[in-house]
Chain A
Amino acid sequence: DSGVTQTPKHLITATGQRVTLRCSPRSGDLSVYWYQQSLDQGLQFLIQYYNGEERAKGNILERFSAQQFPDLHSELNLSSLELGDSALYFCASRREASTDTQYFGPGTRLTVL
């Protein structure tokens, strides 16, 4: 158990809908990363937040947005969902000390029908 929690574990929805994925980082970690992993694909970095502020942006679609709240949990909002958005969405957290790595949550599996 990495200490990073993600809810829900599974999500099934229809095209055109909007969903929110939630992530709680490890205790003491200020930084949250979001990744997308499509079937049999590598990890695509979406976005990073540090202590409530956006820190880095990757290949995140305009239909997707994220935020980090004062209690440091983060939410990833996916809207106007398409079939191709079906994927495993990971959250990872990091302490921000220069030597620290990131620890991953169990992921949320999103299926868009």
Chain B
Amino acid sequence: AQTVTQSQPEMSVQEAETVTLSCTYDTSESDYYLFWYKQPPSRQMILVIRQEAYKQQNATENRFSVNFQKAAKSFSLKISDSQLGDAAMYFCAYRSLTGNQFYFGTGTSLTVIP
């Protein structure tokens, strides 16, 4: 089974600063999808951003962007101009092109300091 590793259980960032959350994964497949989900205190799981492995261009959604390094099997999330509302648990997830199951990391808890 594929594994997804988030090595930072907790991170903190000053409001308006930039923070990067790390994610690595293990797969033998060449085509797959990667996702970042946000889980705020409400516990709702919210899709933040997704990346198709066949696309070399890094995905961007407003203040959120990824650094996708396919050879290194790395998929980090950069949050620019951090806001108090960004405080949440962030989960990285993987799905193969043809697979049904999503594999999640253990999450990184992000604190935003005013």
Contacts and interface: CB of A to CB of B under 8 A. Distances in A.
Nearest to B109: A40
Interface in B73-114: 91, 95, 97-98, 100-107
Contacts of B105: 42
A101 B35 CA distance: 8
B47 A31 contact: no
A50 B99 CA distance: 13
Contacts of A78: none
Interface residues of A, number: 25
Contacts, number: 50
Contacts of A99: 33, 52
Contact of A42 (B47, B52, B91): B91
B43 A101 contact: no
A56 B100 contact: yes
A99 B95 CA distance: 10
B91 A43 contact: yes
Interface string B49-66: 010100000000000000
B50 A90 contact: no
B50 A42 contact: no
B44 A106 contact: yes
Interface in A22-71: 31, 33, 37, 41-43, 45, 48, 50, 55-56, 58
Output the residue of A43, A56, A88, A99 with the most chain B CB within 10 A: A43
B47 A43 contact: no
26 contacts: A37-B43, A41-B106, A42-B104, A42-B106, A43-B104, A45-B102, A45-B103, A45-B104, A48-B100, A50-B100, A56-B100, A56-B101, A58-B101, A88-B43, A90-B45, A98-B97, A98-B98, A101-B35, A101-B47, A101-B95, A102-B102, A104-B44, A104-B46, A106-B42, A106-B43, A107-B44
Q: List the 5 shortest-distance A-B pairs measured between CB atoms, nearest first.
A: A104-B45, A42-B106, A43-B104, A56-B100, A56-B101
Interface of A: 2, 31, 33, 37, 41-43, 45, 48, 50, 55-56, 58, 88, 90, 92, 98-99, 101-104, 106-107, 109
